Amino acid sequence: MLNTLLLLLASIGPGLLWLWYFYRMDHYEPEPPKLVFKLFFAGILLVIPAGLLEQIWKPQLISSINDGAWRDFLVMAFFVVALIEEGLKTWFLWWIVGRNQELDEPVDGIIYGITLGLGFASLENLLWASMYGYGVALLRAVVTTLAHASFTGWAGYYISKYKLETPHNSSRVFGGFLLAWASHGFYDFLLFMQNTMASIIAFALVIILLFRLYQQIQNQVEQSPFAK
């Protein structure tokens, strides 16, 4: 029982802590907690269909990585893992908040996207940690959790731009998905290469995406129509 609780704490706890951190950045009109936790839980649930779909290609993915067939795992990274996961996350994010009246300032979409990504990463962390232990959970808590938050955070940013800017341009939503998909695909491809330099580049990519997203949150909060 204690081991299970510690595993949950190590896997899901970091996602909740990061959620608290980003949620507090929206100083003027914080999002309804009920909607935020709904999105976090939705992110958790999306791991199930994503995992089931990815299982179809799991033998090919493992074989390509073991064989060092970089062309094959390039395809797997972009057109299996990233396409499935970012496709599901972007669609679900749009379905829940794209027409929601609570999305009434640009920063909202970023917070919602980050929340969904953190939920998704939290269950992934739990599944990996249950197989490989706490060391994996701690590493993923810092890197993978924030990677998912940044991918979906950018998708949320472009959903905000679509909804709040006129004329409405649906290509913004698609553009947000493309950015999330391409970033995720490149990140996974680098990790699949299983060498130190590629891993460093992958981590640098996450840092850049997250830093730019952090700047965007600050800019949008400063320009909030609710600022006094």
> Residue 125 has what pLDDT?
85
Written as one string, the DSSP assignment of 142-204 is HTHHHHHHHHHHHHHHHHHHHHHSSS--THHHHHHHHHHHHHHHHHHHHHHT--HHHHHHHHH
pLDDT of amino acid 206 = 94
- Tokens encoding 85: 């996961």
pLDDT of residue 106: 84
Look at residues 1, 17, 3, 30 and name the one whose alpha carbon lies nearest to residue 149.
17
pTM for this prediction: 0.93
Which pLDDT belongs to residue 194? 85
Which comes out higher in pLDDT, residue 122 or 129? Answer: 122
CA distances from 51 to 46, 103, 116, 124 (A): 8, 29, 16, 9
pLDDT tens for 36-65 read 999 999 999 999 999 999 999 988 888 877
| Per-residue model confidence (pLDDT) at position 152 | 97
Mean pLDDT score of the chain? 88
Distances from the Cα of 15 to the Cαs of 12, 91, 141, 155, 175, in angstroms?
Answer: 5, 21, 7, 18, 26
The predicted pLDDT at position 228 comes to 62
Question: Which pLDDT belongs to residue 18?
Answer: 93
Please give the average per-residue pLDDT across 119-132, as a whole number: 84
The per-residue pLDDT for 136 is 65
Q: Which pLDDT tens digit goes with each residue over 63-90? A: 877 777 788 889 999 999 999 999 999 9
Per-residue pLDDT reduced to its tens digit, 136-189: 667 777 788 999 999 999 999 999 999 888 777 888 999 999 999 999 999 999
Q: How confident is the model at residue 219 (pLDDT cuts 50, 70, 90)?
A: very high
pLDDT score of 158 = 95
Give mean pLDDT, residues 100-114.
Answer: 91
